[in-house]
Amino acid sequence: MELLSGADMIARFLQDEGVEYIYGYPGGAALHIYDALFRQDKVKHILVRHEQAATHAADGYARAAGKPGVVLVTSGPGATNAVTGIATAYMDSIPMVVLCGQVMSHLIGDDAFQETDIVGVTRPIVKHSFSIRHPSEIPEVLKKAFYLASTGRPGPVVVDIPKDMTAPTERYEYVYPKKVKLRSYNPVTRGHTGQIKKAVELMLKAKRPVFYTGGGVVTGNASEGLTDLVQRLGFPITTTLMGIGSYPQGDRQCLGWLGMHGSYESNMAMHHADLVIAIGARFDDRVTNNTSKFCPTAKIVHVDIDPSSVSKTVRADVPIVGPAGSVINEMISLIQGKDIAHPEALTEWWEKIEGWRAERQGKLYEPSNEGEVLKPQEVVEAVYRATRGEAFVTTDVGQHQMFAAQYYKFAKPNRFITSGGLGTMGFGFPAAMGVKMSYPDDDVVCITGEGSFQMMMQELSTCKQYGVGVKIVNLNNGSLGMVRQWQDLNYKSRHAHSYMESLPDFQKLIESYGFTALRVHTKEELEPALERALADKHELVFLDVYVDPHEHVYPMQVPLGAMRDMLLSKTERT
């Protein structure tokens, strides 16, 4: 029997759980835990420069590696700084365990120094939370936290740890709990076979089917199965922003992604479909536009692991509650040896879709001419070419995010790492750090904008400390591009506070940390700069790319319209 203090139990548990990295920032209430981490060398602690970055880095790690990201912060401001990152992970169903220091138990409720009711603050943005009430509970509570974070529909779990629970003088028996059980938590492991049969019948009979798949396929590791299913049936597929890469984007059957800034052919196909097969997607408002006009002729099959996602905004005709992977596999075995009932209708459907595709071919944006200011879209295309489509790409939020999603064609899941649900500016750079640490030999590119980057740029210091070689492509248009676009469209171009008056000299800024930064103004400079940036995988390089501030993201769905109602450029609409 081994006796350990609460703090040592935490360190030991993290080792036994196989945690590689923990992102955090020390402070009074967490110091016993920090001391315990100091006295071991299996779990690597990464000291960030702001707690929000710790959560984003852990989040990026989780999205790329498919394992829970782990965060350690102190009480009060340490914990509240982490809140945006917790909410980001919650909205995108990312597994994360956040350990928060707390003031001594006897001080709780007294408004003690650095006291915040973090369990209360985070209650609406966590899958679950725990408060440690006795040091001996630590191993079991932590196991529960990891179990909850990573199973079912994943999400962040907060563990609040009063300082006296980790006191070095009090020791208790430590046993690593291999398994835990929660009587009220039994995530589904498979879908209802009867419902899956019904869905497959509809699929085989469909004349204008379309798959619409989301982040659930990525987190459920179901991309291979999905690709197989879609290719066997020969149906078109569109993904959500979160589902990008769950089906190879370059493939003919892939129509790109859908929704507010989705591709023309995706949104048209959705609108005209007679069957929508939604898997691991949640019909959110950025996808559906006006739900009362959504897919007027389609029957809807909805597969989701979370029953509360099914029929939440759009009523499903065939609801299936289950994990994407097992449901897809069951679908595959059910269609085996069967033919679709209307192959001629499917051919016609494809002709229609190819027609939509052709309509917009070559009209998506106008590339710059020699010597002219660059278009953000062509920068993303150049990044795509330079990294051969194999990079991990993280983004912040805004126009650059949409351009990255539109013009970087992802062939694999877990590669496009973006804050889809919460839309958190500041996410991209720290997320890239988290990815790069677990994939040191891959290209990790953060496509960002000068507004977003400035929200978390203090992390340059973290990158310096740990030698994190991420590549930052700053699409610098000197303004908050997406805000400006909305102001152009809805506020007669009154650009209220969407212009960045006093930008730093990014090159000097980056150089002050000892990194390389290059300024890029034109097409001719772009490719050599990218080549230079990607030359050494372990070197952080920052490209400050000046792009056209007048560019808008299109297509753009018309508010309150149907899927097919889109602005296609500044002058065209459907």
Partner 1 sequence: MRHIISILLENEPGALSRVVGLFAQRNYNIETLNVAPTEDATLSRLTVTTNGDDRVIEQITKHLNKLIDVVKLVDLTEGNHIERELMLVKVKALGAARDEVKRTADIFRAQVVDVTPSLYTVQITGDAGKLDAFLQAMAPVGILEVARTGVSGIARGDKVLSL
Q: How far apart are CA 186 and CA 284, in angstroms?
A: 25
Contact between 121 and 80 (Cβ < 8 Å): yes
- Return the sign of the alpha-carbon dihedral for residues 453, 456, 460, 466: negative
Pick the stretch among 5-13, 128-136, 217-225, 276-284 that binds partner 1 (CB under 8 A). Answer: 128-136
Binding-site member from 112, 128, 205, 334 for partner 1 (CB under 8 A): 128
Query: In sequence order, what E strands does 166-290 have?
Result: 171-173, 209-213, 237-239, 254-257, 275-279
Q: Helices 6-16 and 31-38 meet at what angle, rounded to 10?
A: 50
- Interaction of residue 486 with partner 1, rule CB under 8 A: no
Letter for the amino acid at 236? P
Q: Which of 42, 44, 113, 511 is catalytic?
A: 113
Our answer to whether residue 253 is catalytic in this structure is no
Pick the stretch among 56-64, 256-264, 308-316, 374-382 that binds partner 1 (CB under 8 A). Answer: 308-316
Q: Which of 127, 143, 144, 163 is catalytic?
A: 163
Q: How far apart are CA 541 and CA 532, in angstroms?
A: 9
Nearest distance from C-beta of residue 158 to partner 1, angstroms: 11
Nearest distance from C-beta of residue 308 to partner 1, angstroms: 4
Binding-site member from 81, 131, 239, 401 for partner 1 (CB under 8 A): 131
- Interaction of residue 134 with partner 1, rule CB under 8 A: no
Residue 313 CB neighbour total at 10 angstroms: 13
Letter for the amino acid at 414? N
Binding-site member from 189, 291, 308, 461 for partner 1 (CB under 8 A): 308
Residues 162-191 close enough to bind partner 1 by CB under 8 A: 182-185
- Kindly tell me which of 106 and 497 has the beta carbon lying closer to partner 1: 106
CA distances to 158, 233, 332 from 112, in Å: 20, 62, 58
Q: Which of 203, 433, 437, 482 is catalytic?
A: 482
Nearest distance from C-beta of residue 309 to partner 1, angstroms: 9
Helix (H, G, I), strand (E, B) or coil at 351: helix
Our answer to whether residue 113 is catalytic in this structure is yes
User: Which are the contacts of 102, defined by CB distance < 8 A and separation ≥ 6?
Assistant: 29, 75, 108, 115, 118, 131, 160, 161, 162, 163
Nearest distance from C-beta of residue 426 to partner 1, angstroms: 24
CA count, 13 A, side-chain hemisphere, 191: 32
| DSSP code of residue 308 | G
- Interaction of residue 364 with partner 1, rule CB under 8 A: no
Nearest distance from C-beta of residue 118 to partner 1, angstroms: 12
Q: Helices 523-534 and 376-386 meet at what angle, rounded to 10?
A: 40
Determine whether 386 is exposed, middle or buried from the number of CB atoms within 10 Å of its CB (0-12, 13-18, 19+): buried
Q: Which of 15, 114, 458, 507 is catalytic?
A: 114
Binding-site member from 306, 442, 525, 539 for partner 1 (CB under 8 A): 306
Chain centre distance of CA 4: 37
Our answer to whether residue 381 is catalytic in this structure is no
Chain centre distance of CA 325: 19
Pick the stretch among 19-27, 262-270, 305-313, 376-384 that binds partner 1 (CB under 8 A). Answer: 305-313
Nearest distance from C-beta of residue 276 to partner 1, angstroms: 19
Q: How far apart are CA 222 and CA 445, in angstroms?
A: 25
Helix (H, G, I), strand (E, B) or coil at 398: coil
Nearest distance from C-beta of residue 500 to partner 1, angstroms: 34
Pick the stretch among 6-14, 56-64, 255-263, 311-319 that binds partner 1 (CB under 8 A). Answer: 311-319
H/E stretch holding 228 reads helix 223-233
Question: Which residues lie across from 159 on neighbouring strands?
Answer: 99, 130
Residues 374-433 close enough to bind partner 1 by CB under 8 A: none
- Kindly tell me which of 307 and 528 has the beta carbon lying closer to partner 1: 307
Binding-site member from 18, 109, 120, 367 for partner 1 (CB under 8 A): 120
Our answer to whether residue 51 is catalytic in this structure is yes
Binding-site member from 148, 405, 417, 435 for partner 1 (CB under 8 A): 148
Nearest distance from C-beta of residue 318 to partner 1, angstroms: 16
Binding-site member from 311, 458, 507, 522 for partner 1 (CB under 8 A): 311
- Kindly tell me which of 128 and 171 has the beta carbon lying closer to partner 1: 128
- Interaction of residue 307 with partner 1, rule CB under 8 A: yes
Strand order in the sheet with 516-520: 416-417, 392-395, 444-449, 471-476, 541-546, 516-520
- Interaction of residue 50 with partner 1, rule CB under 8 A: no
- Kindly tell me which of 149 and 457 has the beta carbon lying closer to partner 1: 149
- Interaction of residue 127 with partner 1, rule CB under 8 A: yes
DSSP per residue, 56-90? HHHHHHHHHHSS-EEEEE-STHHHHHTHHHHHHHH
Our answer to whether residue 195 is catalytic in this structure is no
- Return the sign of the alpha-carbon dihedral for residues 503, 508, 513, 519: positive
Nearest distance from C-beta of residue 67 to partner 1, angstroms: 21
Q: How far apart are CA 405 and CA 377, in angstroms?
A: 10
- Kindly tell me which of 306 and 442 has the beta carbon lying closer to partner 1: 306
- Interaction of residue 336 with partner 1, rule CB under 8 A: no
Nearest distance from C-beta of residue 420 to partner 1, angstroms: 20
Sites of contact with partner 1 (CB under 8 A): 119-120, 123-124, 127-129, 131, 148, 182-185, 306-308, 311-312, 315
Residues acting as catalytic residues: 51, 113-114, 163, 482
